[in-house]
């Protein structure tokens, strides 16, 4: 399925694979706890985040960037093998990801329309996996204010943003809290895999 150039793979992971991934992510979160990032304007985001990989995404009063350590100072844990395998299966990209951002949406959390542009190169795709509650995903064009299209993402769905859509505006308008039983307390996890620190894809 294509949504403004974003490829959606509904049901890319079955229930058993989703449960195994949740267990992997629990290990990541115990090593690198979720935190509420602050925007450069000093507002707390409603989503809680952490990362795995050589680099992790952070946001504070100094702005958005990738860092080699969690705000506590510990190195980010490695990207779980099951996620590296998902990248090999669906990203259509020979360069492995060096960062895995984990977003947790509790009741009422959302994410405003944004572009992902903190990476060193936009030649590589971003692979996004949804786990847990359903979420209304909105995708527009590469200019703010363009037409947008929306789709409900369910647990196990994968979206790949790459090529001409790599800099498309996108966001999560809302989630249906408690719609999935994957996470015992409800909520949604979004995992994004990217190549953040490599400055350009090799010529093909």
Residue with tokens 């779980």: 80
Q: Is 91 in the site for ligand MD6 (CB under 6 A)?
A: no
What is the spatial distance between Cα 146 and Cα 177, in angstroms, rounded to a whole number?
A: 29
Please name which of 100, 63, 60, 58 lies closest in space to residue 78, comparing C-alpha atoms: 100
Which residue from 24, 98, 116, 134 is in contact with ligand MD6, where contact means CB under 6 A?
A: 116
What is the spatial distance between Cα 47 and Cα 105, in angstroms, rounded to a whole number?
A: 5
104 is in an annotated binding site: yes
Q: Are 47 and 196 in contact (CB under 8 A)?
A: no
Which residue from 48, 70, 138, 170 is in contact with ligand MD6, where contact means CB under 6 A?
A: 170
Which residue from 24, 98, 116, 157 is in contact with Fe ion, where contact means CB under 5 A?
A: 116
Q: Which does 172 bind (CB under 5 to 8 A by kind): ligand MD6, Fe ion, none?
A: ligand MD6
Which residue from 133, 192, 193, 196 is in contact with ligand MD6, where contact means CB under 6 A?
A: 192
What is the spatial distance between Cα 13 and Cα 163, in angstroms, rounded to a whole number?
A: 23
Query: How many binding residues for ligand MD6 (CB under 6 A)?
Result: 12
Report angle CA 180, 110, 49 to the nearest 5 degrees.
85
Show binding-site residues for substrate. 57, 64-66, 118, 144
* Contact positions vs ligand MD6 (CB under 6 A): 103, 111, 116, 126, 128, 137, 159, 161, 170, 172, 190, 192
């Amino acid at each position: 399925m294509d949504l403004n150039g974003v490829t959606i793979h509904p049901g890319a992971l079955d229930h058993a694979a989703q449960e195994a991934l949740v267990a992997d992510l629990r290990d990541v979160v115990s090593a690198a706890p979720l935190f509420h990032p602050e925007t450069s304007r000093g507002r707390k985001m409603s989503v809680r985040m952490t990362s795995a990989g050589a680099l992790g995404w952070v946001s504070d009063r100094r702005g958005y960037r990738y860092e080699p350590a969690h705000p506590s100072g510990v190195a980010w844990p490695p990207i779980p093998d099951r996620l590296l395998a998902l990248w090999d299966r669906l990203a259509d990209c020979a360069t492995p990801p060096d960062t895995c951002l984990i977003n947790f949406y509790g009741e009422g959390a959302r994410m405003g329309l944004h572009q992902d542009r903190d990476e060193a190169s936009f030649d590589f795709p971003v692979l996004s996996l949804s786990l847990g509650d359903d979420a209304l995903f909105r995708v527009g064009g590469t200019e703010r204010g363009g037409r947008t299209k929306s789709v409900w993402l369910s647990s196990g769905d994968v979206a790949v943003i790459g090529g001409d859509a790599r800099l498309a505006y996108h966001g999560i308008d809302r989630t249906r809290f408690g719609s999935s039983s994957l996470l015992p307390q409800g909520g949604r996890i979004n995992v994004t895999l990217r190549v953040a620190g490599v400055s350009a894809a090799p010529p093909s």
